[in-house]
Structure 1
Amino acid sequence: MKYINKFIYVLVLGVLASCTYEFPEQQIEAPTSGNADFTKIVAVGNSLTAGFMDGALYDRGQQNSFAVMLAQQAEAVGGGEFNVPEINSVNGFFQMGPQGPLGRLILTINPSTGATGPAPIGAGDAPSDFTGNKANLNNFGVPGITLLTAIIPQTGGPNVPQNPAFNRMYERFASNPGTSTVIGDAAAALANGGTFFTFWLGNNDVLGYATGGASNPAILTSDADFQERLGLALGAMLQANTEAKGAVANIPSLAVLPYFTLVPWNALPMTQAQADQANQGYAAYNGGLGQARVAGLITAEEEAHRRVQFQAGQNGFVMEDDFLTNLSALGLPSIRQSKSTDRATLPLSSALGQPVGGNPALLRGISFPVEDQFVLTPEEQTQISDKIQAFNGFINAAVQANSDRLVLVDVNQLLNRVLQGQVSAGGVALTASIIPPNGGFSLDGVHPNARAHAFVANHFIEAINVKWGSNISKVNPNNFIGNDLPR
């Protein structure tokens, strides 16, 4: 079979006259703190709190996290300095390349095809030790951590095993590397004059499982473990200063993330000749399905669901599906073509149609089934959605149990509104995409960009103002850039 070029998603970029927009004037009285004290804010969380964007932790992202924005707005009501463990890198670290560390993702245009998509900017920096005063830190956001790795002396996270730099993200500023914990350090900062805290953990207890195509159940946190670990982590913060108040965020739906929407289910383009050649390879498989149906092993509906049939134009890719009836006794694998209800993960964009193991006869998605780690089936999507709902229930219950001191920040609801096109500033929408200027997600398809972080900061501010009668001013999201235009 002729080699089929790898799928590269195309971003349609309009002509941009300007990226500066108006923000409605806020009619509020002189800022006051209400019944809360913002003298010293401590933030604890994962990559979202750290400002991780574009597949890397780098200077611009770190300084444009919601935590930094919230602290800046709180200065008008008595808030003090907010120190972050500076990464001191313009490009950060995305992955290792043949010549060394590669930096954050940027949009690039393929000179041969004209297709636009993310690629490393070039040279990056491996995370170096923080050289500032650790005792003065306010932001304890650590990319990659789960609730478990926040409360034990461990510096890595299971959701990004391909990126060894994550093992350095806490170690580089830990009070006692190898012994201290993220929660322990944050609680110590709160005990040392802290008056208010933000808490946003739990995302990675399900995100790693989802981004891996639900292929590794061992990294999906159980309900019982999540509830126990949440109680330990949040309890440590509450006990560190019994007068401090806090804002606790929940877990967004993964259906919002471009990581699961950028690669369409029918991402394989084929000519009629290519389709005919591929179909010949599945004639025996399709025939075997018919025999299994006649023997009563599968229904007619499952036979139709499993049949592989390519045609000229865009096609679904052949994929593994463990939820199909096991017909291995007949020599038939559990495979089918992708449907509109499946969600491919972003890494498939560079793997689809490519030779597996360098063998030109094994093309991923055509003559070789796409592996489980690249796709979420409808059953897996339901499992993940149910898990997030359960985790958010535990978070809500924990907040309600301490309602005199905590407020829930429903980020899940905010991002669902983004997906529905209901969020804007000054008439300029925020969209659940990576396409500039309106796209709210950075180029890794998972983490918000700076403009989206401004909306998240405002969501925190709204919840805080309502809960404690403060009137902290909101930030203007349109003062923050989304994703850079292609280079």
Structure 2
Amino acid sequence: MKIFNKLIFLMVLGSFVACTYEFPEPQIDQPTSGSADFTKIIAVGDAITAGFMDGALYNRGQQSSFAIKLAEQAQTIEGGDFNVPDINSVNGFFQMGPQGPLGRLILTVNPQTGAAGPAPIGAGELPGDFTGNKAELNNFGVPGITLATALIPQTGGPNVPQNPAYNRMYERFASDPGSSTIIGDAATALANGGTFFTFWLGNNDVLGYAVGGASNPAILTSDTDFQQRLGAALGAMLQANADAKGAVANIPGLAVLPYFNLVPWNALPMSQAQADQANQGYAQYNGGLTLARTAGLITEEEEAYRKIQFQAGQNGFVMEDESLTNLGALGLPSIRQSKPTDKATLPLSQALGQTVGGNPALIRGVSFPVEDQFVLIPTEQEEIQQKIATFNGFISAAVQANAERLVLVDVNDLLNKVLAGQVASGGVGLTASIVPPNGGFSLDGVHPNARAHAFVANHFINAINGKWGSNIPLVNPNEFMGNDLPR
């Protein structure tokens, strides 16, 4: 049975209207750096610091990083140059295609359905070597890194073909590929006349696990490892220059990311004939659940939760759920239909309803259960949110332990306000979506777009100004575009 050829999620063109967290107009006071010094700013972080967006690191995104915006604003109060390892790529690298590298994501319109969704722009480029002066770099943001990979030399070692983009992201500008480390290079730059730094690491210590549907527990950083690695990385920056001050950002929550909200739980459309045919295939499974309940193996509630029943219209998809009672002895798999409490990941938009292995009898979400890596069930969501809260507690404690030199930039709070529709500039809101013009996330559903980076830069600036009595002027976010309109 063939449900449809390709699912592209339908974006709801709407936005929040209640805006209570209005960024003020730029200051006009006499410029001053207060008790901080912005002569040479060093930024260390992951993809956001690098300016990664739309699933790729490319020229326009790289130049839109909050780190660059912050440094440019600091130049009005005697801040210095801010050099980045230029990617020199118009479209960047999103993934490999049949004819070679494909570039960043853009919004495209399906001519059959009229629905808009992200797709690669076309030809892209693998990251090339940085040919500038590595000793003059200020931005050490590297997409895909965790606290661990920021501290080990293997991150900048020889390229691994299985992941050609991320393995090149640091290698291309490492001071000594295979021997140097991201934190080591950033600390060296700070020691060499640096006066201020931004530090935003830790996102990928939980995000990598989340975007994979919590299917690989081995990549979720333990509490002990996170705390130790945070101490090592942040300590290296603090020790590099005893006079330098810094701003440290925390980890945004899961709920704000469109990556987990764009594919609805009931994303499977069916006609009555298709539903009837699918229901016949699950009659034996449903009957087995009834037997399991009468035998006392599961409760009546779990039987109802697990039973699979399709109808004409939009349906939940069949999915794996390892939290269900194991009925393998009865030959019953741990499957059920998706519920409103589940969060599907963005890649499911392309996989749902497709045949598996070219077998027309195996349709993902109908006759073949959606795999674990495509969905976060409620217990996994709770686990991830608890991890984020714990990790943010460690970050806050580290900042408090060095309160004279560090300030916390609570990006988690900022993005929660964005989610609630409470952030705006000049009366123009910022939304937790990819929908232009107000959507604040790029088309990968995870990383901010250029306009949102301006709001993030202002959040850093407000924290810095409040801490050290400086008056770095704010950015006007409305001077920067969000996502391009669909093509």
Q: TM-score under structure 1 normalisation? A: 0.96
Q: How does 1:37-76 map to 2 (within 5 A)?
A: 37-76=37-76
Supply the AA of the counterpart residue of 1:99.
Answer: Q
What is aligned with 1:351? Answer: 351
In the superposition, relative to structure 1, how do residues 24 and 391 fare at CA in structure 2: closer, same or farther (>3 Å)? closer
In structure 2, the residue matched to 1:272 is 272
2:26–2:475: 8 Å Cα contact kept in structure 1?
no
User: How far, CA to CA, are the matches of 2:3 and 2:41 in structure 1?
Assistant: 56
C-alpha distance in structure 2 between counterparts of 1:48 and 1:27, whole Å: 26
- Asked if 1:81 corresponds to 2:87, the answer is no
Q: Distance in 2 between matches of 1:264 and 1:8?
A: 11
1:384 maps to 384
* 1:389, distance to aligned residue in structure 2 (A): 0.3
- CA displacement at 1:163 relative to structure 2: 4.0
Aligned to 1:18: none
* Deviation of 1:8 (Å): 1.2
The 1-side partners of 2:207 and 2:27 are apart by 39
What SS does the corresponding residue of 1:5 show, helix, strand or coil?
Answer: coil
* Pairing of 1:48-447 with structure 2 (within 5 A): 48-155=48-155, 163-447=163-447
Secondary structure at the counterpart of residue 108 of structure 2 = strand
For the 8 Å contact 1:61–1:450, the answer to whether it is kept is yes
The residue number in structure 2 matching 1:450 is: 450
2: CA distance, partners of 1:250 / 1:2: 45
Q: Per-residue deviation at 1:178?
A: 0.2
For 1:392 and 1:297, the matched residues in 2 are separated by 40
Which residue type is aligned with residue 77 of structure 1? I
Q: Residue 335 of structure 1 aligns to which amino acid in structure 2?
A: I
Letter in structure 1 aligned against 2:253? S
- For 1:36, the aligned partner's letter is A
**Quick one: distance in 2 between partners of 1:187 and 1:272?**
63
1:446-476 deviation digits (Å, cap 9, x = unpaired): 0000000000000000000000011110000
Q: TM-score, normalised by structure 2?
A: 0.96
1 CA distance for matches of 2:100 and 2:133? 29
Tell me, in whole angstroms, the C-alpha distance in 2 between the residues paired with 1:5 and 1:428: 38
**8 Å Cα contact 2:156-2:181 kept in structure 1:** no
Give the direction of change, closer, same or farther, for the CA distance of 1:128–1:342 in structure 2 (3 Å limit).
Answer: same
Contact residue 94 and residue 101 of structure 2 kept, 8 A: yes
Task: Quote the Cα distance in structure 1 between the aligned partners of 2:161 and 2:451.
Answer: 28
Q: 1:13 to 1:417 in 2, by over 3 A?
A: closer
Counterpart Cα distance in 1 of 2:382 and 2:6: 29
Residue 49 of structure 2 contacts residue 66 of structure 2 at CA under 8 Å; is this kept in 1? yes
Q: Is the 8 A contact 2:92 2:125 kept in 1?
A: yes
The aligned amino acid for 1:189 is A
Question: What is the CA deviation profile of residues 335-391 of structure 1, one whole-angstrom value per residue up to 9, with x for unaligned ones?
Answer: 000000000000000000100010000000000000000000000000000000000
Identity %: 81
Conservation of the 8 A alpha-carbon contact between 2:105 and 2:444 = yes
CA distance, structure 2, for counterparts of residue 360 and residue 300 of structure 1: 34
List alignment gaps of at least 5 residues for structure 1. 15-21
Count of matched residue positions in the alignment of Structure 1 and Structure 2:
478
- In structure 2, what is the Cα distance between the partners aligned to 1:168 and 1:387? 29
Q: How far apart are 1:164 and its partner, in Å? A: 2.4
Say whether the 8 Å CA contact 1:95–1:163 is kept in structure 2. Answer: no
**Secondary structure, aligned partner of 1:170:** helix
- The range that moved more, 455-464 or 3-12, is 3-12
CA RMSD in angstroms comes to: 1.5
CA contact (8 A) 1:145 1:156 kept: no
CA contact (8 A) 1:276 1:311 kept: yes
Cα offset for 1:31? 1.5
Gaps of 5+ in 2: 15-21
CA distance in 1, matches of 2:335, 2:192: 58
- 2:477 and 2:327 map into 1 onto residues whose CA distance is 54
Q: Is the 8 A contact 2:27 2:473 kept in 1?
A: no
The runs of 4+ residues in structure 1 deviating greater than 6 Å are none
Say if 1:162 and 1:340 are closer, same or farther in 2 by CA, change over 3 A.
Answer: farther
